[in-house]
Structure 1
Amino acid sequence: MTLSDRGANEDDGLIAAISQERFQPFLHKCGGDRRRALRLYAWDSEVARALQSPLRDLEVSLRNRLHRQLVGKHGQEAWWDVPKARPNHKGLDMLDGARETLEGRRPYRPFGPCDIVAQLSFGFWVSLLGRGGRDNYEMKYWNSSLRHVFLEHRGGRDDLYTKFQFMLTLRNRIAHHESVFQRHLQRDLETALTLMRHVSPEMADRHEKYGQVPDVLARRNAVLSGEEPMRL
């Protein structure tokens, strides 16, 4: 067997492990060049790993900042139990899901509001910046409290919510192992850091100084051409 044959067999094995269906978008992007598409697949994984860091800190910073703001407004840690601050049905379902998870994880250990806060998803916190349907989150949360977190934002609540939704979509794509190479990732990074600056300027500064994403984005063409190694 020649080196070329061994390389082709190795590629076949990798593509089988990935699955032809999952591999197809990478192959299409690379014009049918399987070796280049496999390098793109590796780079996509590398950039997804790098993006997890700012997205994680954006989620945690948003969660803690909104929670503190609402605790200050309503005077108790379980602000969602205050009738005028109670979320809509979808939000209440998320709260119930958080409680059920905690009860299942530690059935004989009591938990408090801080445990529930930590268990709630990014989607829950982003939803508080939305319209809230008939519950009118504009009046319930935004005008009464949360707008004070985003005093430097000039685009309005809808614009802010849309940007957080973009970040939620990106976060979920990465969490579900979906590809991200098709996205404008430089813009995604800029959006994440801009939003992070509203809720934690210190964390945004940290990512701008030490973040790995710019270096990974700059490596893309060199990885695809084989000039730089893949990082798995």
Structure 2
Amino acid sequence: MQPPVQPALSHGEFESWLSQPRADRYLSHCNGDIAVAIELYFWNSRLAAAAFSDTCHLEVALRNAYDRQLSARYPDWAVDPASDLFTRTQGIQAAVRKQAELNRRSQQALVDARRGLGSNPQHGKVVAAMTFGFWTKMTDHPRTALFWNPMLSRAFAGSPQRAAVHELVSRINKFRNRLAHNEPVFSTRTGLHDRLADAEALLNLISPATAAVVKANSPVPAIMASCPVSNLV
């Protein structure tokens, strides 16, 4: 049986679809071959979706690890507007100002997450509704004494430094945003291999067993191996 004939696009239609700068990025890796460029674009979409899925597995592990530590001291932190978790400050005036601003943003994020969940939202549903960015801010430097030292450091094995964890989470958060917007993930600027390694390293700090299961079930390696352009990734 003959393979189905693929619909064709002109260069102009491809550029109109993706925008000229983005279309040119694909075409530049394909010697201007529009058919290969389109194939590369859809390959990139599959890879981005698979990598995004893996980071979602990481996010679930991260938020639950953090929630266990926060809830040990503040059981209703996600559902009680009067919880003290995001009202505490300490230190010199400059530190207090930074902590207060981070607290304000966290409180607003909780309000946003509870919206639409009813008048008595379940704790777990609120936690699940928080953005990855919310968890990223939990390890900002001004929160070292109030969040990291007494609580969040216990979410990880091997006693990692706050700065190291924060850097990992921040890089993964930026990477997720690129994946969600279907950006080209083969660009050296995104550091595809490095970001995938970051996600694996962070999940290993939370749960090596979970990291092994996610890695074993990830479609990312197979998709990377099917790249239509040689030596691109």
Is TM-score (shorter-chain normalized) higher than 0.5?
yes
The answer as to whether partners of 1:39 and 1:224 remain within 8 angstroms in 2 is no
| Structure with the larger helix share | 1
| 1:90 matches 2:105 | yes
Equivalent of residue 220 in structure 2, options 191, 203, 213: 213
| 1:99 matches 2:114 | yes
- For 1:204, the aligned partner's letter is A
| 1:160 matches 2:159 | no
Structure 2 unpaired stretches of 5+: 88-101
Superposition TM-score, scaled by structure 2 size: 0.78
- Rounded to whole Å, the distance in 2 between the matches of 1:65 and 1:89 is 23
Percent identity over paired residues:
29
Structure 1 unpaired stretches of 5+: 1-5, 104-108, 226-232
Superposition TM-score, scaled by structure 1 size: 0.78
CA spacing shift, 1:23–1:153, aligned 2, 3 Å: farther
Larger RCO (CA within 8 A; separation ≥ 6): 1
- For 1:43, the aligned partner's letter is W
- Rounded to whole Å, the distance in 1 between the matches of 2:124 and 2:137 is 19
Partner of 1:10: 9
SS at match of 1:102: coil
Cα displacement string for residues 134-162 of structure 1 (whole angstroms, at most 9, x for unaligned residues): xx3101110111112224254x2112111
- For 1:68, the aligned partner's letter is R
- Rounded to whole Å, the distance in 2 between the matches of 1:42 and 1:72 is 45
Q: How far is the alpha carbon of 1:124 from its aligned partner?
A: 0.5
Partner of 1:195: 202
- Rounded to whole Å, the distance in 1 between the matches of 2:104 and 2:40 is 42
Q: How far is the alpha carbon of 1:8 from its aligned partner?
A: 9.7
The answer as to whether partners of 1:11 and 1:35 remain within 8 angstroms in 2 is no
Partner of 1:61: 61
- Rounded to whole Å, the distance in 1 between the matches of 2:209 and 2:53 is 15
CA spacing shift, 1:189–1:90, aligned 2, 3 Å: same
CA spacing shift, 1:85–1:110, aligned 2, 3 Å: closer
What are the residue-to-residue correspondences of 1:1-232 with 2, within 5 Å? 10-12=9-11, 13-74=13-74, 76-78=75-77, 81-86=82-87, 88-103=103-118, 110-131=120-141, 136-152=142-158, 154=160, 156-182=161-187, 183-220=190-227, 223-224=228-229
Q: How far is the alpha carbon of 1:78 from its aligned partner?
A: 2.0
- Rounded to whole Å, the distance in 2 between the matches of 1:158 and 1:101 is 35
